[in-house]
Amino acid sequence: MAGTGIAASRLCLSGGGLVNHKRIERIWRQEGLKVPQKQPKRSRLWLNDGSCVRLRPCWPNHVWSYDFVMDRTHEGRAFHILVVIDEFTRECLALEVFRQLRSDDVLHCLARLFVETGSARSA
């Protein structure tokens, strides 16, 4: 809890002695303040037994990622960018700019990349 942790550390530094985060939370609730929710831990990409939840890249052209980025020109008109990267080499495979980005545009871009680079190679 970031908020209660900061409050507890400030109380310790001001000479108030050691203060438990649970005490800080209880005081906040008594005073009618909101107590911040605990942040969930980030999940890993793989499990302890070595099995993958998501594929980890082992060689070039093994795993690709794509993302959509939106921005506006100085005139206020929106444009969209499709970014495709190779996860192993971190090489940008495609940057496609569109005023309107449709699913057909994404499929055409990926199909073109498959033709240019070939399908994923096995080890």
pLDDT digits (tens, 9 = 90+) for 44-94: 666 666 665 667 788 888 888 899 999 999 999 999 999 999 988 999 999
Query: What are residue 68's phi and psi, to 5 degrees?
Result: -115, 130
Average pLDDT, the chain: 81
pLDDT of residue 108 exceeding 90: yes
More confident residue, 73 or 14: 73
Indicate whether this model's pTM tops 0.75.
Answer: no
Q: What is the mean pLDDT of residues 110-121?
A: 83
Is residue 95 within 8 A of residue 82, CB to CB? The reply is yes
